[in-house]
Structure 1
Amino acid sequence: MDTERHSPLRHTVAILSRGDAAARRDATAQNSRFVRVFEALAVVGIDARPVIYDEIFADAVRDQLLAVDGVLVWVDPIHQGKTREALDPLLREVAAQGPWVSAHPDVILKMGVKDVLYRTRHLGWGADTHRYDTAASFRDEFPARLQANGPRVLKQNRGNGGQGVWKVEALPNADGMVRVLHAQRGSLPEDMPLDAFLARCEPYFGWGGCVIDQAFQPRLPDGMIRCYMSGAKVAGFGHQLIKALIPPPPEGPDAPEAQPGPRIMRGPDASQFQALRRSMEDQWTPQLMDTLGIDEPSLPAIWDADFLYGPRDATGTDTYVLCEINASSCFAIPDDAPAAIARTVKHRLLRTQAVRSGA
């Protein structure tokens, strides 16, 4: 019997990340920061290969992606001044020709942008949230909202690493003056005219299309809980005492006291987060899919929802406020996540294969 003919073909997956020509030349699974993902995929019988992307060799990357069954993408929206403006059309083209792509750019535009905070504000993770679609509406509406409702957090629609995220508060006894603090590490509070700050934000409408406005959450110093998801299932948690949007100590933004604490990773069964897990798996993720028109097979193989602690309810139980969803480049990840990614990838590739064969 011809065993080679009758044994199943192994699926192939590209793990795509950004880098320069040297990184592309030297890339291996073993020297990749995603080495544990490569290992988990191998365990379930999937051959994975590293693919390094940059605009200058995009054509060669396209050829590599068209030669595999699936693509896992880890590329930030903004990296050292470069965006995904050229990459996203390339990924759409690849997906249209057959390979499964996660996360697909069209899915990112629904869930991996700050606009998701506005579109899902009615869910249990929602808060006082508004959207400005033009610079004119921003200028017309934001000043009164800031004056009436206290400190706000403004977020450009697409970004990462705190870029384009600002805490804004009106200065007392100083008409038309605000104190702003950028979420990027090393930022210092600035006092400036509100009109000048509004002008600073105008470029965000060209890149991201809108600006999202949320109420500042006073429990920010209690930390951020990152809920890692693979498809519709929780793959782990990370808790971190963040320093973004918290004024630095007198010693300055480079002082040890100004640095964020380590992100403490937990598995999906971590006891302190089981209420959050039940909400994510049983309520919020299904409601998210329904609201955004995303089916379960289109959810990214790895994504995360970042939560701040909201006000405690009448029984003293914590509530959670969504502050961001990361779907473009969710990394680092908990120890349990690579195996969860591998299971999701295998299921998605088998499903894609069955659809193509008409099974």
Structure 2
Amino acid sequence: MDTERQSSPLRTIAILSRGDAAARREATAQNSRFVRVFEALAAAGIDAFPVIYDESFASAVRDQLLTADGVLVWVDPIHQGKTRAELDGLLRDVAARGPWVSAHPDVILKMGVKEVLYRTRHLGWGADTHRYDSAASFHNQFPARLRASGPRVLKQNRGNGGQGVWKVEALPDRQGMVRVLHAQRGSMPEDMPLDVLLARCEPYFGWGGCIIDQAFQPRLPDGMIRCYMSGAKVAGFGHQKIKALIPPPPEGPEAPEAQPGPRIMHGPDAPQFQALRGAMEDEWTPQMMTTLGIDEPSLPVIWDADFLYGPKDAAGADTYVLCEINASSCFAIPEEAPAAIARTVKQRLMRIESPQAQG
């Protein structure tokens, strides 16, 4: 393999994240939060450099990215009021001019948005899930569904950190009233007329295009399992006792009991998650790719699928319900993940170098 590496030019990877002008001036691989990824890429014989993005210097960022063979992107959909709208256009332009981009904005729009929960609801990870494409359909359909099926979770199509995710339950003794809890940290339950909630959610149709509606999962207090993927292979797991959508104790949302537990990271071979690993690698990821029209080389080099525990099956084994896929900015990651990222990047670069691989 050393001979092959020496006979082909050194490939370069840009690692893109959001920051201000000062962060851009001071950025190095060593002071980056992605330092372990830089180290893993270097160990694989791949040169990588940091690129800090903000809309105010987007043109300079574009010029930097065009010097690379590939771009790895870690930018949230929403950050301090800023969206990825301008960045996604920039990344599409860069990708059209040669460098490959992971995750490409068009791939994110297929798998890294809440709509994936609706489009893949027929897979083994699916649940009772609906999509509202307009404010009119939302107003017409959601109230009856809420009354008929119990607590629901509404999700704006694009978001992160719990923004735009609401648990909603009807108050049976108060006609037209609902109790809602926002998933953002520090939120408190609110009782309000259902019409007020519907109006509050209407802006989500402008940014994300739709609202997704899932049945609330009663085993939420058992925690969330984050399955980290590099391409089509599992790179590790994280298990966390989350507090989002769980009412805080009487002491309030700042009480210690209201804080989420630590995310306990595990490698891909963790025994307790092998059934989930087998389902992800052998069934659900290939089925998702077919459903969404994504080929394996287009899968992000790092992404994660967040699962809640579903009802036990007839044999008493756990089932899993997908609640989100993160493809825009998947971090922090297990200690095994940087090496998995480097392997996937190397495979992608080999496809660029080998015309036979692309055929």
Q: Above 0.5 in TM-score?
A: yes
Distance, in Å, in 2 between the alignment partners of 1:230 and 1:128 is: 28
Distance, in Å, in 2 between the alignment partners of 1:179 and 1:250 is: 16
| Kept after mapping to 2: 8 A contact 1:41/1:47 | yes
Distance, in Å, in 1 between the alignment partners of 2:357 and 2:337 is: 30
Distance, in Å, in 2 between the alignment partners of 1:358 and 1:335 is: 31
TM-score (norm 1): 0.98
How far apart are 1:36 and its partner, in Å? 0.1
Q: Which amino acid aligns with 2:146?
A: L
Q: Which amino acid aligns with 1:237?
A: F
How far apart are 1:33 and its partner, in Å? 0.3
For the residue of structure 1 that corresponds to 2:349, the secondary structure is: helix
How far apart are 1:121 and its partner, in Å? 0.1
| Kept after mapping to 2: 8 A contact 1:131/1:211 | yes
Change (3 A) 1:6 1:79: closer
| Kept after mapping to 1: 8 A contact 2:352/2:358 | no
For the residue of structure 1 that corresponds to 2:91, the secondary structure is: helix
- Runs of 5+ unmatched residues, structure 2: none
How far apart are 1:358 and its partner, in Å? 7.7
| Kept after mapping to 2: 8 A contact 1:100/1:352 | no
Tell whether 2:255 aligns with 1:246. no
For the residue of structure 1 that corresponds to 2:169, the secondary structure is: strand
Matches for 1:178-197 after TM superposition, within 5 Å: 178-197=178-197
Distance, in Å, in 2 between the alignment partners of 1:7 and 1:193 is: 68
Q: Which residue of 2 is the match for residue 269 of structure 1?
A: 269
Q: Which residue of 2 is the match for residue 293 of structure 1?
A: 293
For the residue of structure 2 that corresponds to 1:68, the secondary structure is: coil
> Which aligned runs of 4 or more in structure 1 are off by greater than 4 angstroms?
356-359
Distance, in Å, in 1 between the alignment partners of 2:215 and 2:166 is: 11
Distance, in Å, in 2 between the alignment partners of 1:357 and 1:264 is: 38
Q: Which residue of 2 is the match for residue 93 of structure 1?
A: 93
How far apart are 1:349 and its partner, in Å? 1.1
TM-score (norm 2): 0.98
How far apart are 1:7 and its partner, in Å? 4.0
| Kept after mapping to 2: 8 A contact 1:166/1:182 | yes
Q: Which residue of 1 is the match for residue 139 of structure 2?
A: 139
Distance, in Å, in 1 between the alignment partners of 2:259 and 2:10 is: 45
Distance, in Å, in 2 between the alignment partners of 1:255 and 1:125 is: 33
Distance, in Å, in 1 between the alignment partners of 2:322 and 2:114 is: 10
| Kept after mapping to 1: 8 A contact 2:351/2:358 | no
Q: Which residue of 2 is the match for residue 22 of structure 1?
A: 22
Q: Which residue of 1 is the match for residue 79 of structure 2?
A: 79
Q: Which amino acid aligns with 1:122?
A: H
| Kept after mapping to 2: 8 A contact 1:100/1:349 | no
Q: Which residue of 1 is the match for residue 156 of structure 2?
A: 156
How far apart are 1:356 and its partner, in Å? 9.7
Q: Which amino acid aligns with 1:315?
A: A
Distance, in Å, in 1 between the alignment partners of 2:60 and 2:311 is: 51
Q: Which residue of 1 is the match for residue 217 of structure 2?
A: 217
Distance, in Å, in 2 between the alignment partners of 1:54 and 1:178 is: 40
Q: Which residue of 1 is the match for residue 59 of structure 2?
A: 59
Tell whether 2:37 aligns with 1:37. yes
Q: Which amino acid aligns with 2:265?
A: M
Q: Deviations over 1:313-337 (max 9, x none)?
A: 0110000000000000000000000
CA RMSD of aligned residues (A): 1.4
Q: Which amino acid aligns with 1:319?
A: T
Distance, in Å, in 2 between the alignment partners of 1:95 and 1:248 is: 45
Q: Deviations over 1:105-129 (max 9, x none)?
A: 0000000000000000000000000
Distance, in Å, in 1 between the alignment partners of 2:277 and 2:6 is: 42
Q: Deviations over 1:276-295 (max 9, x none)?
A: 00000000000000000000
Tell whether 2:317 aligns with 1:317. yes
Change (3 A) 1:314 1:99: same
Q: Which residue of 1 is the match for residue 111 of structure 2?
A: 111
- Runs of 5+ unmatched residues, structure 1: none
Q: Deviations over 1:133-174 (max 9, x none)?
A: 000000000000000000000000000000000000001210
For the residue of structure 1 that corresponds to 2:300, the secondary structure is: coil
For the residue of structure 1 that corresponds to 2:272, the secondary structure is: helix
Identity of aligned residues (%): 84
Tell whether 2:279 aligns with 1:279. yes
| Kept after mapping to 1: 8 A contact 2:351/2:357 | no
Q: Which amino acid aligns with 2:116?
A: V
For the residue of structure 1 that corresponds to 2:306, the secondary structure is: strand
For the residue of structure 2 that corresponds to 1:72, the secondary structure is: strand
Change (3 A) 1:23 1:246: same
| Kept after mapping to 1: 8 A contact 2:66/2:97 | yes
